[in-house]
Chain A
Amino acid sequence: MNQDDIKDSDIDIVIGALQPDLTSFLNEWRPVFSRFHLIIVKDPDLKEQLNIPEGFDHHVYTKPDIEKAVGASSTILFSGYSCRYFGYLVSKKKYIISIDDDCLPARDNEGNLVDPVAQHITNLTTPATPFFFNTLYDPFRVGADFVRGYPFSLRSGVTCALSCGLWLNLADYDAPTQALKPQQRNSQYVDLIMTVPARALLPVSGINIAFEREMVGPALFPALRLAREGKLRWETIEDIWSGMCAKVICDHLGLGVKTGLPYVWRSDKGDPIESLKKEWQGVKLMEEVVPFFQSVRLPRTATTTEDCVAEMAKSVRERLGSVDPVFNHAADAMLQWVKLWKSVGSGSSTPGGA
């Protein structure tokens, strides 16, 4: 789809509210967000009322809405950072952009305010090139192109279904890294967008992402949760897990994943040493998880994202179930998510709804 054909009404901005007062957050984002419809999902564990400033076209979902849609026993799937997945579920738009509620607009090297919505949409509406690496990065960027030696048959690229942005200031490090380097802040604005090559795995951070809802939505789910999954990113792994599933599935379906711009500015929050106590389980699990993802193969018969998720869930149970019970829960959650996606999700995003 051409970027010029994209209307504001094709986009939902999904915000998971882990803090009650969204006033300064939304006011800072007003120049960028005010054109769009916002889906704000309140963390079901949050007791206080949400405070939302005037002037936004938005819909708020809280614990009762979640319970009504998915049943009381499912609500646990959507607590903490995972609450935003409920927003993905109920959206009817073509594109979703999701940014954590402790992130603010960044500035580029020229001092201009970065519009992550516009950049994510550009990323999603220009082709990705996963089958061969272009040394000048995104060849569809103005001022760039494919370099000598790039096969011509691969130059039309594939649809980009997932766009992973980055973070200035507080980068998305894990707790051990940030604890070792407590003063380290990311100040490098790297003017780069690139396709992550096919079969290359990456940690997809949920802090700043955008995706084509129908293509990738079923593959982004809060399935692997730590026993003591917490309210700081250092204490979570759910986005890493679902991001790797999404990458394997995109590779299988011939869809592209881009990484790089846009940046958001992430506020300082939390104490990594405190979080260290909770996150070690995630670090341990990653070691089991990576060899699995590197070798998992999906059957040719899996031609839709939902089918792929179901097949992944099967593989997870078979190959990781005996390693740690948390993986059996993950496989169950993946299947439950696909069911939810089919029943609660609107499926098609054609005008007129479900």
Chain B
Amino acid sequence: MAQLLSPPLKDDLDIVIPTIRNLDFLEMWRPFFQPYHLIIVQDGDPTKKIRVPEGFDYELYNRNDVNRVLGPKANCISFKDSACRCFGFLVSKKKYIFTIDDDCFVAKDPNGKEINALAKHIENLLAPSTPLFFNTLYDPFREGADFVRGYPFSLREGVPTAISHGLWLNIPDYDAPTQLVKPRERNTRYVDAVMTIPKGTLFPMCGMNLAFDRELIGPAMYFGLMGDGQPIGRYDDMWAGWCAKVICDHLKLGVKTGLPYIWHSKASNPFVNLKKEYKGIYWQEDIIPFFQNVVFPKECTTVQKCYIGLSKQVKEKLGPLDPYFQKLGDAMLTWIEAWEDINSPAKAALSQGNGVKKDESSTKQK
């Protein structure tokens, strides 16, 4: 029986969930999530008590905790925006992260079977990616598939997978203008494929249903300055995705997209979204060519070095577009400094017992 086998990567993966409302959605995920450690990042009012369903092993951080852990560097973590989730990436000690929104539920495949999204992400991350040549039968490592005729043999080993990007049934991840024009559209098409996004190609990375190898790409998964006090929102995951993709391309790491699906239940208000997004819609037209032309010097051999280089280029090339990008470039540097602080071996030993907060009442040891 499958339940008797140890859940894959049980001790190597954290589930990071940003929330401002409640965590009721976890009940539906219990069969798949319960073996894993959760990092809850509570956005908004820190005095509000977020109830975590019984039986989950978790840490919970509210804004006070973020400030306490990061001190002056806390200004790089967004407030009143799900971008705050990247604080969870920062403090995790695991190799892998799976992040999911609190309005995402278990979906069913065309046979009616419930989809274990976490297990599929793990499968995606543990199998190689193939960004250097496109396979027309999609993921060649999938059971029942393979590389097609003409696929060079020297490229069949693939590269390590850094990111697994999942999709959504029901409410699709549309921007505000599309939501306004098509309020009733639902994604009902289950596309049974995983594929590697080719090298040199950018994509819109949605943070709702996402997993990554923290050791391979963690420092690039900064979700930017959004929300309260910022001129833009709903571009946090997009920003992280563009930064991460250009770095993955440079370092020969792979990004996959496709399965698994989750069921996205909540359509956010399109008018509210429009206000958050509209600057992004204009700025994007400059941001995309910027990322398409990013070049990393050979000396950038680590994610951190690439990211620091990128932050400088952001300030230089996008700064003229709006002063926001100067702030963002600085925040990117602050993030890397915070990453080094918290994640370097010596410093991590020092901060042990200081930065981690566990909710007294319901932490359960496994």
Contacts and interface: CB of A to CB of B under 8 A. Distances in A.
Interface of A: 109, 132-137, 141, 143-154, 164, 166, 171-174, 177, 181, 184, 186-192, 196-205, 233-234, 237, 240, 243, 259, 283, 286-287, 290, 294
Q: Report whether over half of chain B's contact residues are helix, strand or loop; otherwise say mixed.
A: loop
B211 interface: no
Contacts of A287: 152-154
Interface residues of B, number: 57
B121 to A, nearest CB: 15
Interface in B130-178: 132-138, 144-155, 165, 167, 172-175, 178
Interface stretch (B186-194, B308-316, B326-334): B186-194
Residue of B148, B199, B203, B257 with highest tally of chain A CB at under 10 A = B148
A65 B185 CA distance: 54
6 contacts: A145-B185, A148-B238, A151-B285, A172-B148, A198-B201, A203-B136
Contacts of A192: 138, 191, 193
A202 B132 CA distance: 9
A184 B148 contact: no
A194 to B, nearest CB: 8
Contact of A200 (B110, B151, B201): B201
B204 A150 contact: yes
A202 B136 contact: yes
Contacts of B206: 135, 147-149
Contact of B173 (A148, A171, A201, A233): A148
A135 B174 contact: no
A150 B235 CA distance: 11
Nearest to B153: A283
A287 B238 CA distance: 36
B106 interface: no
A303 B235 CA distance: 37
B189 A135 contact: no
B150 A174 contact: yes
Contacts of A187: 144
A205 B173 contact: no
A204 B174 CA distance: 32
A188 B151 contact: no
Contacts of B200: 197, 199-200
B28 interface: no
Given A191-B189, A199-B200, 9 more contacts: A136-B167, A147-B173, A148-B175, A198-B201, A200-B133, A202-B135, A205-B148, A259-B134, A286-B150
